[in-house]
Chain A
Amino acid sequence: MKVSLYQEKETPIHKLDPRTKIISSVFLFVCALIFNHPLYLLALFSPLLSILLLFRSYPLIFRLKYVLILLFFFSLILWPFFVKGENILFWIASYPIYEESLYYGMAMGIRLVTFVVIGLIYVSTTKNEETMYGLIALGFPYPFSFAIGTALRLVPSFVDAAVTIMEAQFSRGLELETKNPFKILKILSVLAVPMFVTAIRNTNMLGLSLEARGFSPSARRTFYLDLKMRPKDLITIFSVLSILLFCLYLRVFLGKGVVIPGRI
């Protein structure tokens, strides 16, 4: 069963150098932090979502649909209680709900979902190993890059083990189809023991296996994957940088894209 989010395809984004993808993702993250107006964030979010859909990665969106919906609605509902605006729209008990804070909540929801979409575009088009190689090429130390790559690698492994453990428990009558949160907690505690045992054993074995194949974080090594910055990489970085600069210009010099001034 496939649990990792990487999609083996030949899209233009797949063909970009991982450094380009890392730098562009960071720039786009910053762009999403510049505005707190829902329309401006929507203008950033829409083309990103289109990219994801254009490359037929909608199964990823489908898999994460509940997370995305929860993120958006939690932001929309919770932020208005914590951020003050100017025009009171209505009251909930003794709490005033401002028009601006409602927009701000909406903007924060879009921002979070935008972060997820940027992340999805990145992980669905970049192998863990490419991320590691990219970080090394960007000047990060090898042990740090290797640790990031390993952490990313272990996520799908643990998810895979968790799926098998859940299947094993279902096979002897464990029922997850309950809405009682206490029962769910009890069920999760049952799953936790074998998951913990499996995680410890696998991590131990992984350490053994790495050493047995001559791995040493400080030793010199060669690289199998070739990283090469091509003109299309430079064009991509330049384009995303232009978007970032344009966003900064709108916010800093023209004061656009803000519903609540003084907040990110």
Chain B
Amino acid sequence: MSVSFEELSFRYKNRGSYALKDINAKWVESSSIAIMGHEGAGKSTLCYSINGIVPHFFKGEYSGRTIVFGTEVKKSSVQEMAKKVGLVFQDFESQIFSTNVELEVAFGLENLCLPKEEMGRRVDFYLAFVGLKELKKRDTATLSGGQKQRLAIASVLAMEQPVIVMDEPLSDLDPVGKREILEIREKLKDEKRLLIIVENDPENVLQMDEIWIMKEGRFFASGRARDIIKDVPLLESAGIMVPKHFIFFKGLGFRDPPLTFEDSIKLLREKCLLNGNRRFFELNIPSHFCKDGIIEFRDVHFSYPGSDEEVLKGINLVIREGDFVAIVGSNGSGKTTLAKHANGLLKPTKGAVLVKGKDTRSYKRHELARTVGYVFQNPDHQICSRTVFDEVSFGLRRLGIEKKYIEESVEEALFVTGLSGYEHLSPFLLSKGERQRVACASILALKPQVLILDEPTTGLDFVHQVKMMEMLKKLNERGHTIIIITHSIWVAETYAKRSIVMRDGRIEKEGPTREVFFDEETLLSCSVYPSTLTRIANFLKTKSMEPEEMIEELKNEGLLVPGKRDPNS
């Protein structure tokens, strides 16, 4: 048995409830395990308990046993366990230690006392595996978020321990990058190693052997990945996202939905009447696309000071009032750099960015902050006040706004973000999702016309992701222009009216989201992999990418008649 838990319970020091309670499981070598669950379910604590960080680093009340290849974790040091267990942390940025990419990978290998030749071989192999071969000599500080995540993964994989644990290792990766990393599964299986991944997107864990679902510190359900994923009520009760193509097939009356795109098409051909000569959809351009441009990029080029490398290469773009725009693309393609130009945090080295027709260079920072708000990915970079009220009113107080108006604006911002009643709480004691909403409210209180959010759903579980996105949708309906940078493709597909796809500092495609996601070839070339439902929608050439609307559309046009065979198949 590779890893086994026997009645494992753990409660962090000074915490009321147990992070882990009565955990029992046995995982064998050569298998791949996915752990899913809501925020605070105990997933990270479980990962820490495998390599001894719990109970050696994080102290608390510990009972039961975790055994890894015959060694009881509690009786061994973390350094000793590191020879058996490799752990990729959720907070990968602080895991990176060295100043140079290859040295970062080599650090763990030096601790294992490997000879230089072997270290060189592994550094090259694993950097190539995660797609960082070309960046071997780069300073780690210059990498993008996704590149840093790849590096953190490579530095752990290179140690070649028999057990690899990854705590949400895909959060900042572009969709193609996610698939590439998940391919490690096959390699580890061949080498008789055990892979444990914490991941909340069902489409990413389809190929795993088993799924274990956690709820409030306990294992709630487990089984073969394919069986668990199809159990829609189970996923819903555990707060896990249900793949949208399941909803589509359930809507069509199929009890047993197919898992993959290929299976979906096969099933549609077998069981339904599909018109082989489907028309290309015509898009009715919504009226807001014809509104005035609020932000305009004119041939924008940008390089960071001290660097000759251009991060943006001739961007021409107009963001119109009332838009809901998603910026997607590969890691390091310039998405965040582009967004930072919109509120003047960065100024172009060539070209111009106009906000309401005026060059960002001629604005004062606080003037721009009132027009274009920017919510950073990490709320802890922003929070500095003792209470939620003080935090949300921070910007207004800085601008010298009247007290009565401040109170009204804060109340409204808290209401919209679902934080009414939190006014007197300390923001530092809230959950990550709540802190993210506080950060958003503090920008909203300034009532900016445009709101930019960098990865608004990263680090949130599905329930909180939906809450966050519904809030943004509501704001957009109230007239705010929303721009999000995201690697979460379902977010872009579901909420964005318009999408921008970037690669290597350039915009490769932009337009209405449906149109952009129809061009799978361009998306793939930019490391964006559409969801299974979108691929089905593209195959069926429907106007919508939403399950209910797709069914309606097909039925209205008489193109889908369940129970009859496709004459073209």
Contacts and interface: CB of A to CB of B under 8 A. Distances in A.
B306 A63 contact: yes
Given A190-B384, A194-B380, A221-B111, A156 B141 contact: yes
Contact of B116 (A6, A172, A226): A226
15 contacts: A2-B307, A59-B305, A127-B100, A169-B384, A172-B382, A172-B398, A177-B364, A191-B384, A198-B380, A201-B380, A211-B82, A222-B110, A223-B110, A224-B123, A225-B103
Interface residues of A, number: 56
A4 interface: yes
B381 A198 contact: yes
Nearest to A224: B106
Interface in A167-219: 167-175, 177, 190-191, 193-194, 197-198, 201-202, 205-216, 219
Contacts of A224: 102-103, 106, 109-110, 116, 119-120, 123
A171 B377 CA distance: 13
Nearest to B442: A172
Contact of A221 (B110, B340, B395): B110
A165 interface: yes
A8 interface: yes
Nearest to A210: B97
A174 to B, nearest CB: 6
B230 interface: no
Interface string B381-409: 11111000000001110110000000000
Interface in A138-165: 153, 156-157, 160-161, 164-165
Contacts of A222: 109-110, 113-116, 119
Contacts of A198: 380-381
A156 B382 CA distance: 19
A213 B108 contact: yes
A220 interface: yes
Interface string B132-156: 0000011101100000000000011
A208 B89 contact: yes
Contacts of B159: 213-214
B139 A4 contact: yes
Contact of B398 (A175, A210, A226): A175
Given A156-B141, A213-B108, A213-B155, A205 B95 contact: yes
Nearest to A156: B141
**Residue among B94, B98, B139 with most chain A CB within 10 A:** B94
A211 B111 CA distance: 10
A164 B380 CA distance: 11
Given A168-B382, A173-B370, A214 B442 contact: no
A1 B141 contact: yes
A212 B384 contact: no
A236 interface: no
B112 interface: yes
A202 B95 CA distance: 8
A4 to B, nearest CB: 6
Contacts, number: 186
Contacts of A169: 382, 384
Which 8 residue pairs spanning A and B have beta carbons closest together? A214-B82, A205-B94, A172-B395, A224-B106, A214-B111, A171-B374, A193-B384, A213-B108
A190 B141 CA distance: 25
Contacts of B442: 172
A129 interface: yes
A221 B109 CA distance: 9
B107 interface: yes
A173 B94 contact: no
A128 interface: yes
Contacts of B374: 167-168, 171
Interface string A224-235: 111000000000
A36 B306 CA distance: 35
B446 interface: yes
B82 A171 contact: no
B111 A219 contact: yes
A229 B306 CA distance: 31
A169 B376 CA distance: 10
Interface string B332-369: 00000000100101000000000000000000111001
B311 to A, nearest CB: 10
A198 B93 CA distance: 12
B306 A59 contact: yes
Contacts of B370: 173
Interface in A39-97: 59, 63
A4 B381 contact: no
Contacts of B385: 193
Nearest to B123: A224
B91 interface: yes
Nearest to B89: A209
A208 B54 CA distance: 11
B91 A205 contact: yes
Given A1-B142, A211-B53, A173 B89 contact: no
Interface string B215-243: 00000000000000000000000000000
B87 interface: yes
Nearest to A191: B384
B365 A170 contact: yes
A211 B110 contact: no
Contacts of A161: 381
